[in-house]
A and B are shown apart, each in its own frame.
Chain A
Amino acid sequence: MTVENALSQLKPLRRRGDITAWVEQEPDPGSYSDLPADLAPSLTEALTSRGIHRLFCHQAESYGLARAGKNFVVVTPTASGKTLCYNLPVLDSLALDPSARAVYLFPTKALAQDQQAELEQMIQAGNLGIGVNTYDGDTPADMRRKIREHGRIILTNPDMLHTAILPHHPKWVQLLRNLRYVIIDELHTYRGIFGSHVCNVFRRLKRVAAFYGSQPQFFCASATIANPAELAERLLEVKVHPVTRNGSPRAGKEFIFYNPPVINQELGLRRSAISAGRSLMERFLRENVQTIAFASSRVNVEVLLRYLQRSFHKHPADRVQVRGYRGGYLPKTRREIERELREGELLGVVSTNALELGIDIGSLEACILVGYPGSVASTWQQMGRAGRRTGRSAAILVARNLPLDQFIITHPEYFFGLSPEHGLIHPDNLQILVSHVKCAAFELPFQKNENFGKENLVEILDFLADQRILCRSGDSWHWSSESYPADSVSLRHVADENFLVLNSDEGNRAIAEVDFDSAPELIHKDAIYMCEGRQFYVDTLDYPRRKAYVHEVKIDHYTQAITYSGLRVLKIDETKADRGMTSEYGEVHLAKKFPGFKKIKLYTHENLGYGKIDLPVHELHTTSYWFSVTEQALPAALTRTEIIYAFLGIAYALQYLAALLLMCDVRDIGRSVGDRSAGWFAKPEREGLGFYSAAGGTETAAADQLATFDPTIFLYDNYPGGVGFSEVLFSNHARLLEQTRNLIGGCGCRNGCPSCVGPVDELGKTTKRHALEILGVLAPPERRS
């Protein structure tokens, strides 16, 4: 009854009104079906020997669809026996037909390895004699040939399919001729840029399979999103049936939304989610409840971990062990933590979303989300880490001082109602499409009547022939270059280019990895890098070699990088003008700079000073949505400076609402405030407002650049070429402005706060009022009808 004990301590918070939702999920006995009568007898044996005498209804439904030759996507919660939905029809069919083969795709290597163990147990139990092999970058060279020729089930990831399997398809004749099934787990992760690439990889797979006379069925599994079948159909471009009725039994579970109390009425600041999350986690751990906390970033994992370790350090008698878990840890450490969790040796873990996907760590009793993970789907996935077949469990969401968190925590119906989130992909992004047309032409020459993507294929092929990458010969186009095109196309956003963090105290031992995008912010020279609860001072960042050299320190602060960006409009796709306001979307060139960093005191978050960062400008060609307003259309009483501050405040809120609409991470969109025709950009600073020209780097913009005045807000796609966000934002322009007005207007703060227009100490006390005045003109309430 330990979970109950911990929960009863939350009652006072409920009385104070800090708990905005407390939803009890009733226990559910589950809904079952008999094992299918026509199941291969050996498989029936395997199931019964593992204690499975009947199926959950979603498993039976999936099996029926598979036997009827249909594609399906199963959408049920974590730990609901989802993998059996696809394993059952695959093993059944492979047991009956010794030539049939299947490919399983997982977004990460770790998931594939987990799944191999599970499949092998089933195959062994039924003595099915089906070879299961993982084929990834770690597969030894001498095994590869054997796997290509004899592997019946190949577990791999989209990246391997893209760079190693498809370009060498004649070596995979055995697999491709007999390819019956393609399994795609964690379907919801295939969205945005990654999903757009993977859609094209599937186009190539289907094309190559068709060459060998195969037309595989697709079985998918996804976390809860509003449009699983739609996403699957957009990704695979075939009809896909949704399976959504969950038949697995579950014990009771409490879902709690917790908004930390306001501690500074003046600044509108609430108690930080990290410190609120820390006290909640402490309560659970002291009650001996196995608990996982999810933090929103690697830095926050380290901060929270440090706090927790410190509180338990004071009472050695507690003997409570808490560890951190995140992408940058070395694989060996991670495997060890996973095992300790499964076996119950470890009581507490603080993780990034790295543990959100199906890595087997068993089921925990409590789960604390320190900050809204950014999407409803991720929230359910993370909350699903708590919950056992028997015994109560609890999942708590703690809101941060951020617009999205505040929106969700004050609108629980948005979360508990039907999920409104839509996975979005844009496979016909021209850059993405063309790079896969190249890969496809490498694999098989294109014929005139073929289809590939939604642009005019012949025109693309002729263009590539003009570039002498392809060679047109009659009505077919052949690859005619020495290069290997898949090598220059990364499905992920510079994902492979990780930076290594080397500790010079320990003879430059690698202590962590940092991804390419985060490196300028986390491991610039003089940064304090936090890892496993320890602080490291970055002595040098060797950017070309992707290495950072650090040594351990014990100091009272951490660092936070300052970033800003300038934009240049290259091309306008569409324009809408209305009462002095022009909204547009199109292509832009972005230059991102990292001028310096702040030193922030631990616990108090007080700013201790600034330092410089000396790093190259990061450039990006992408798509953006923006709108500008003429000076005449704006309230005449406001000064230019006041207007710019108000625009900065509006942009702040708008970015979060855009992320909510697009089901993407806030960081997938960038925001910038400036003047679209004059080419300057504004950035709030401690000393006042800074103006920068887009082209000129960090120096202040010239006075004549400030002569014209068309303040503009840009929301851009944070990926090269864009993935279609801008068009969606453009067509939702009016709705977004209205939501922004409601969010800022409805915020309980007095003069603005991080949950609406941004922190008062950066934007001043009048910004909230001015932002509302401007929004009153741009999105007047009466226009709603």
Chain B
Amino acid sequence: MDLKSRLQQIYGSKDEDAGLRKRLEKLHQRETFTIAEHLEGRWKETASGKIVRVEKTLPWFYSHGDHSFDTLSSLSGPVAALLTGDCSLSEFDVSSALFLDTETTGLAGGAGTYPFLIGAGYFENGDFRLVQFFLPDFESEHAFLSDFSDLIGGFAGGKGFRSLVTFNGKSFDLSLLQNRFVLQRLDNPCEALVHLDLLHPCRLLWRGHFEDCSLQTLEKHVLNYDRSPDLPSHLIPVSYFNYLHWGEFGPLREVLEHNRRDIISMAILLGVAGQCVAVSEIVPIIDSLSLARFHSRRGRLPEAAAFLERSLADERCLGRRADVLFNLARLHRRMGDEDAALEVCFTLIREDPLPPLEAFQEAAKILEHRKRAFQDALDLVARALAIYPESPELERRRYRLICRLEGKKWY
């Protein structure tokens, strides 16, 4: 038996598709426009092959949900550094930033996953320019990557970009691009840029607000942008494979549209996130408890405390009053203001019919170690034990306090 028949015996044959494919090929031959025209781009010939480049320009006032690119105008280097907690971004400047998002042949990762579309956005003369590099076939990958490299190197008269903005690019897009540059034996131009990944700051800010912290969820709720109709992400690889195998390029236009929206949303979301952390007022798109959490994580304790104080009046935080008070007490202690911390703890214990165990412990800790008011601490622990009789921590503290009161060693 010949090899092909043996293969068919094991894996089955797809002959039924072959006829269909032939018919489709004939159909495509009759069509007069090419993939470049279909995607509203142009062919670009390079020494190593031919690729498709699609370029669009959007004015600064272009509106996207409730916002426009204008939100980025106030984003300074220090704000970018604060947002990310990364001081290498303190020189960040929107005008030299490249917003990057790729579409790939899958999520599996590894050497066999290809980015087939690199979308890049940047500001030029006040407008937002979108350049998309499309890989028309695998053979042209070298040209595809080189063209992208040229954009980074050739921007603004050779001055070049200085930073790269992505959403979850650290572990995905940039990692896959790095693979491709290695495989094509090219230098990776992204390595020279400072990287700002929005995923972690956004998670820190909006955790618990919505169903998840994906870019699409955030653009819907934070930017109030409705992208429907949209090609769902999981259909993107299939769309590309159908183009490769069948020459069917209809849905690819939607893939490019999807990618452009991602980049625009990402850019504007950066501006909005920057505004959230730069101002000291309460903003409608984020609750003050989350802002407090953000500032506290960045070591900005007075700002965090101020937001906590405000949360007490923020109706979105009403259900989490105990949480707010407890965090406030902690912050006061971290800032060295034990009296304030104690006061907040006692407020919490007084107000709440079932105060959290941590509130008792926080207060007892201060009374014991800072104030050395052992009797007060012991009284407090006794109250706590009435509510939490099972707590071994409370028992240990009670024993220790009794020893201290009696001047005995407890260890």
A782 CB within 8 Å of chain B: no
Q: How far is the CB of B361 from chain A (nearest CB, A)?
A: 32
Chain A residues numbered 701-722 whose CB sits less than 8 Å from any CB in chain B: 721
User: Per-position contact with A for B383-411: 1 when CB-CB < 8 Å, else 0?
Assistant: 00000000000000000000000000000
**Given A431-B10, A468-B245, A483-B106; A170-B139 close (CB under 8 Å):** no
Query: Which of B109-117, B278-286, B332-340 lies at the binding interface?
Result: B109-117
A481 touches B110 (CB 8 A): no
B192 CB within 8 Å of chain A: no
Q: Which residue in chain B gives the minimum CB-CB distance to A168?
A: B110
Chain A residues numbered 461-494 whose CB sits less than 8 Å from any CB in chain B: 463, 466-468, 471, 473-474, 476, 478-485
B7 touches A434 (CB 8 A): yes
Chain A residues numbered 439-468 whose CB sits less than 8 Å from any CB in chain B: 441-445, 455-456, 459-460, 463, 466-468
Q: Which residue in chain B gives the minimum CB-CB distance to A173?
A: B182
A509 CB within 8 Å of chain B: no
**How far is A353 from B156 in the complex, measured between Cα atoms in Å?**
69
User: Per-position contact with A for B1-22: 1 when CB-CB < 8 Å, else 0?
Assistant: 1011011111101100010000
**Given A431-B10, A482-B106, A484-B112; A468-B18 close (CB under 8 Å):** no
**Given A442-B112, A481-B106; A170-B4 close (CB under 8 Å):** no
Q: How far is the CB of A760 from chain B (nearest CB, A)?
A: 43
User: Per-position contact with B for A378-398: 1 when CB-CB < 8 Å, else 0?
Assistant: 000000000000000000000
Q: How far is the CB of A715 from chain B (nearest CB, A)?
A: 22
B112 touches A455 (CB 8 A): no
B183 touches A473 (CB 8 A): no
Q: Which residue in chain B gives the minimum CB-CB distance to A463?
A: B7
**Given A468-B241, A481-B106; A441-B139 close (CB under 8 Å):** no
B313 CB within 8 Å of chain A: no
A456 touches B241 (CB 8 A): no
Extra inter-chain contacts (11) besides given A468-B245, A478-B114, A482-B108, CB under 8 Å: A167-B111, A168-B111, A170-B179, A442-B111, A463-B7, A467-B11, A471-B244, A476-B139, A482-B105, A483-B108, A484-B112
B168 CB within 8 Å of chain A: no
**How far is A167 from B176 in the complex, measured between Cα atoms in Å?**
12
B237 CB within 8 Å of chain A: yes
Pick from A459, A468, A476, A570: contact of B138, CB below 8 A. A476
Chain B residues numbered 1-45 whose CB sits less than 8 Å from any CB in chain A: 1, 3-4, 6-11, 13-14, 18
Q: Which residue in chain B gives the minimum CB-CB distance to A455?
A: B3
A599 CB within 8 Å of chain B: no
Q: Which residues of B contact A (CB under 8 A)?
A: 1, 3-4, 6-11, 13-14, 18, 105-112, 114, 137-139, 178-179, 182-183, 237-238, 241, 244-245
Q: Which residues of A contact B (CB under 8 A)?
A: 167-171, 173, 430-431, 434, 441-445, 455-456, 459-460, 463, 466-468, 471, 473-474, 476, 478-485, 570-571, 721
**How far is A142 from B150 in the complex, measured between Cα atoms in Å?**
34
**How far is A271 from B109 in the complex, measured between Cα atoms in Å?**
59
Q: How far is the CB of B87 from chain A (nearest CB, A)?
A: 22
A-B contact list, 11 entries, CB within 8 Å = A167-B111, A170-B178, A170-B182, A430-B7, A434-B11, A441-B112, A463-B4, A467-B14, A471-B241, A471-B245, A478-B114
A571 touches B1 (CB 8 A): yes
A430 touches B14 (CB 8 A): no
With a CB–CB cut-off of 8 A, which chain A residues contact B6? 430
With a CB–CB cut-off of 8 A, which chain B residues contact A473? 137-139
Q: Which of A444, A471, A483 has the most CB of B within 10 A?
A: A471
With a CB–CB cut-off of 8 A, which chain B residues contact A442? 110-112
Q: Which residue in chain B gives the minimum CB-CB distance to A484?
A: B108
With a CB–CB cut-off of 8 A, which chain B residues contact A481? 105-106, 241
Pick from A466, A479, A480: contact of B18, CB below 8 A. A466
With a CB–CB cut-off of 8 A, which chain A residues contact B183? 170, 444
**How far is A571 from B106 in the complex, measured between Cα atoms in Å?**
38
**Given A170-B179, A170-B183, A430-B10; A482-B4 close (CB under 8 Å):** no
Pick from B1, B107, B138: contact of A478, CB below 8 A. B138
With a CB–CB cut-off of 8 A, which chain A residues contact B11? 434, 463, 467
**Given A476-B139, A571-B1; A444-B111 close (CB under 8 Å):** yes
Q: How far is the CB of A78 from chain B (nearest CB, A)?
A: 39
Q: How far is the CB of B403 from chain A (nearest CB, A)?
A: 39
Q: How far is the CB of B234 from chain A (nearest CB, A)?
A: 9
**How far is A476 from B11 in the complex, measured between Cα atoms in Å?**
22
**How far is A252 from B143 in the complex, measured between Cα atoms in Å?**
70
Q: Which residue in chain B gives the minimum CB-CB distance to A166?
A: B111
Q: Which residue in chain B gives the minimum CB-CB distance to A570?
A: B9
With a CB–CB cut-off of 8 A, which chain A residues contact B7? 430, 434, 459-460, 463
Q: Which residue in chain B gives the minimum CB-CB distance to A438?
A: B112
With a CB–CB cut-off of 8 A, which chain A residues contact B8? 463
Q: Which residue in chain B gives the minimum CB-CB distance to A476?
A: B139
B138 touches A484 (CB 8 A): no
With a CB–CB cut-off of 8 A, which chain B residues contact A468? 14, 241, 245
Q: Which residue in chain B gives the minimum CB-CB distance to A440?
A: B112
A445 touches B14 (CB 8 A): no
With a CB–CB cut-off of 8 A, which chain A residues contact B13? 466
**How far is A491 from B114 in the complex, measured between Cα atoms in Å?**
26
B112 touches A171 (CB 8 A): no
**How far is A434 from B8 in the complex, measured between Cα atoms in Å?**
12
**How far is A206 from B246 in the complex, measured between Cα atoms in Å?**
34
**How far is A443 from B109 in the complex, measured between Cα atoms in Å?**
11
B245 touches A443 (CB 8 A): no
**How far is A467 from B237 in the complex, measured between Cα atoms in Å?**
16
With a CB–CB cut-off of 8 A, which chain A residues contact B18? 466
